[in-house]
Amino acid sequence: MNACAFLSTCVGDNEAETTSETVVPAGKQVGYVRVSTVDQKTDRQLAGVKVDKLFSEKVSAKTIDRPQLAACLDYLREGDTLHIHSLDRVCRSGAGDAVELVEKLTGQGVGVHFHKEGMHFYGAMTAAQKGVLGILASVAQMERELIAERRTEGMAAARAKGVHMGRPANTVTKEEIEGVMKTEGLSVTKAAEKLGIGRATAYRVMKG
């Protein structure tokens, strides 16, 4: 069990601290999923959850601009419930993003359900809820950063041993390169690094 799940379990014994006592909204069930690259799959994030509308984002966690999240928030109405895989899916600049998002939505009569952490929010948030959510969001963000650090260290070690990293050049398409450039605001060179191919290869693919 990771730290985030452990904390969620600890506070789960006191239902009033993790969910409000108001009636669960009976409106539309809306899902939001996000992955970091264009070739990652989103279908596992809310597997088994029946939603009326799904918003799918393929953008890095470090990118502030998230058009699908903005569209999702604009779509939600009072009585709806927003389903999100985990807290780190909505943390852009810090853990406070999750608290701000949930507080805004519950204030509008929208329920929020984080499935990985098993947390449900309906109605106005209490001080205890904000505190618990802030802690869990911080832990989720820390775990994400640790995973990224380990991945970077592992790739560096592999390169030092002469192991080829990245995808075969002939599997990368022009559309994938353009997708990364558009969603993350990157140059061709940076997009090539993101996709694990060389700069020259990326330019060759872009020229067709």
In the chain, where does DSSP find H-type helix?
Answer: 3-12, 15-18, 67-75, 96-107, 127-160, 174-184, 188-195, 199-207
For residue 192 the two structure tokens come to: 């090539």
C-beta separation of 186 from 195 below 8 A: no
How would you classify the pairing of strands 119-121 and 29-35? unpaired
- Is 36 a known active-site residue? yes
Q: Which is catalytic among the residues 8, 20, 36, 56?
A: 36
Q: Is 188 exposed, middle or buried (0-12, 13-18, 19+ CB in 10 A)?
A: middle
- Tokens 């990157």 identify what position? 186
3-state secondary structure of 143: helix
**For residue 114, what are the β-bridge partners?**
84, 119
What positions carry a catalytic annotation? 36
